[in-house]
Amino acid sequence: MFDVLTLTVNPCIDVSASVARVVPEDKLRCDAPRYDPGGGGINVARVVNVLGGRSLAVWTSGGITGDFLAKLLEAHRVENAAISVSGMTRQNVVIFEKATKLQYRFGMPGTPLSREEQLACGIAVGDRSRDCRVIVLSGSLPPETPINFYRRLIDRLPTEARVIVDTSGAALRESIGSGVFLIKPNRRELSQLTGCLIDDEASLSAAACELVRSGATQVVAASLGAEGVIVATADGARTIRCPDVPIQSKVGAGDSMVGGIATALSRGETVWNAVRYGVASGTATVMTPGTDLCRREDVERLYQSIAS
């Protein structure tokens, strides 16, 4: 039995390296690269494992990069179920510029999934979801995938499962509704979902509460960036502030937050404590370099420092 099941339909290999300075035209000599398994749901599954939970990552695998990603997942000891697809698994690139300490992130679009491959994803999650406490549908959709892909999948999931959706744009808008337990929009995404102008924390809080009242989701964990998260439920809204920590890389912080939330929910924690744990997980991730994710000892320490 798994605590958390994740689905990643647009996974990637995250390649990170550093260079003295980013300039046009010249051939830039990078330091030795680092390779990590990536994509929303895969990152969430990695974090669940780091935090002592048991996860299953369902993902699409194509070509030699898909084979390499499978080896990376094995190296990270992530239990997974790969769905074979015809397209090549994508690679994303993160470059750290030493001179300015700026980070440049290049995300590739991925390749389209056939109708049969889309159906295989739904079947794989449906067959494995019966005993999972929390199901996370996370990450972008590949090109040409119907924007209601997640919605159609949610309609097939067990009603007792707590479903977390972490995507953006039209895919997020089409996913919300009955069966969704939690979403994690930022200010812009929340404004798009509600049609409200959001220019301060009060308006963000009101918009998040309205989304809950509308039945779109039971919980909104609205990101304030470095300032924290507003948690909205049927009982109202509260704010969780992020601890102040030295920042090395923001890559994977959002996925780590979802991983922390999912882990805590699977243990029976309250929504408030689960989001606190998620904030601690996301904050711990920005303390690590490149595409590395959080360390459990950092998460536990930061969680204790966040006001309950």
104 token code pair: 């440049």
Amino acid in position 113: L
Helix (H) or strand (E) holding 296: helix 296-305
Q: What is the DSSP letter of 95?
A: E
Pairing of strands 55-61, 34-38: unpaired
Count Cα atoms within 13 angstroms, Cβ side, for 201: 13
Q: What is the DSSP letter of 227?
A: G
Phi, psi for residue 134 in degrees, rounded to 5? -135, 135
Helix (H) or strand (E) holding 164: strand 162-166
| 219 SS3 class | strand
Q: Which of 3, 244, 255, 292 is catalytic?
A: 255
Burial of 294 (0-12, 13-18, 19+ CB in 10 A): buried
Amino acid in position 294: C
Phi, psi for residue 41 in degrees, rounded to 5? -65, -35
How far is it, in rounded angstroms, from Cα 5 to Cα 58?
7
Clarify whether 255 is annotated catalytic: yes
Amino acid in position 299: V
CA 82 to mean position of chain CA atoms: 18
Sequence-distant (≥ 6) Cβ neighbours of residue 111 within 8 angstroms = 62, 85, 86, 87, 88, 90, 142, 143
User: How many other CB atoms sit within 10 Å of the CB of residue 56?
Assistant: 24
List the catalytic residues.
255
